[in-house]
Amino acid sequence: MIPASRIPFFADWAKSPHARADAEAFNHWNKDGKIPVQCAGCHSTPGFLDFVGADGSARGKVDKEAATGTLIYCSACHNEMTRELTAVTFPSGLRVEDLGANARCMTCHQGRAAGSDVDKAVAGMDRDKVSPKLEFINVHYRAAGATLMGSLARGAYEYDGKSYASRRRHPEPFNQCTGCHELHTVAPKVGECAACHKQVTDADSLRAIRESRIDHDGDGDVGEGIAREVDQLNARLLVGIKAYARTVAGKAIAYDAKAFPYFFNDANGNGVADADEAKVPNKYNAWTPRLLKAAYNYQFVAKDPGAYAHNPAYVLQILHDSLEDIGAGNGLGPVTRP
């Protein structure tokens, strides 16, 4: 076996999320002993090699369960098959070509659901009628590729009659995943950003970047970072979701970002998913089509902490439209949709 000290970039990789041996992403299935096919491709090296066909299997699918106990090793991204991987099919069914090496990242960082899944679930239903057939649809986590591609991927729920931003474009060379993220640590390249964005001094200050002079969240502040605009609108969307659930669906709802499936019945009506409420048996069960769409988009933004950088126009658009549809757009001040 080659010593770690002789593996190129091993120290950098060891600092990355791909190397976190204690992470839930690599331990969730330990009791089962196997990672199911629908999860193995992105939560194990054998599964990813299976998906790209580097193990001799067919490309584009995972054929078998993967053993637990692996991380995302060098061989997952660096093999003959990934060199040929240049396109990604997103959960919406839309395929984006000519991605180059970005396809290696976006194969996993694309989410596991799309707005089309919401449309299928609510087809033929009254927008404001509770249906026992509906359950929360979770986009999954850190779907940065879907955010970046905007309407090319249609990862978020896009409302009828609205137009949406396409792929987010930066000046070159910042149109590649590794243009903005270190290749092996995947940390943001703060120094590269600071060359143009003078307010950037560390990773936290990336949130201070802003190009638009338009007040998107209605607070009158056009100097705050665009990340703050996104945060404010998403927070207001959650307020709107709670108000709608209480007054239209007839059952209070609460959200917990760390407890699956995230939306719960708020039995005591305090607006918070308390410890005894944030449990699977108490998952929210009074969904209407309108409520499901808004909740899906709330989660889409909440679970991509870099959404403000990946595609701010797209996420601001879906938040504005979700607020408008759920009826929470009133009282925000003179907000402007990108």
CA angle (285 as vertex; 284, 290 as ends), nearest 5: 90
State what percent of residues in the chain have pLDDT above 70: 96
Token representation of residue 17: 């999320």
How far is Cα 86 from Cα 84, in angstroms, rounded to an integer? 6
20 pLDDT tier (thresholds 50, 70, 90): very high
- Which residues share a beta bridge with 11? none
Task: Tell me the pLDDT band of 4, cut-offs 50, 70 and 90.
Answer: low
Query: What is the C-alpha separation between 66 and 62, in angstroms, rounded?
Result: 9
* Res 212: pLDDT: 87
Contact 46, 53 (CB under 8 A): no
Whether the per-residue pLDDT at 194 is higher than 60: the answer is yes
pLDDT higher at 338 or 94: 94
Question: Are residues 284 and 249 in contact, defined by beta-carbon separation less than 8 angstroms?
Answer: no
Q: How confident is the model at residue 314 (pLDDT cuts 50, 70, 90)?
A: very high
Is it the case that residue 209 has pLDDT exceeding 50? yes
120 by DSSP, 3-state: which?
Answer: helix
Distance CA 245, CA 286 (A): 8
Confidence of residue 73 (pLDDT cuts 50, 70, 90): very high
Region 185-209 average pLDDT: 95
Q: Is the pLDDT of residue 21 over 50?
A: yes
Torsions phi, psi of 234, nearest 5?
-70, -35
Question: Looking at residue 8, what is its pLDDT?
Answer: 85
Neighbours of 220 (CB within 10 A): 8
pLDDT band at 330 (very low <50, low <70, confident <90, very high): very low
Contact 296, 115 (CB under 8 A): yes
Site of tokens 């599964």: 47
Query: Is the torsion defined by CA of 168, 169, 174, 175 positive or negative?
Result: positive
Whole-number pLDDT of residue 1 = 53
Residue 6 has a pLDDT of 79
Mean confidence (pLDDT) of the chain = 95
**Do 320 and 214 meet the contact criterion of CB atoms below 8 Å apart?**
no
pLDDT over 80 (residue 332): no
- pLDDT score for 15: 96
pLDDT in tens, 101-121: 999 999 999 999 999 999 999
Q: Is the pLDDT of residue 61 over 60?
A: yes
Q: Inform me whether the pLDDT recorded for 333 exceeds 60.
A: no
State mean pLDDT over 52-78. 96
User: Span 183-198, mean pLDDT?
Assistant: 94
Q: Which tens digits make up the pLDDT trace of 211-227? A: 888 999 888 899 999 99
For residue 336, the model assigns a pLDDT of 76
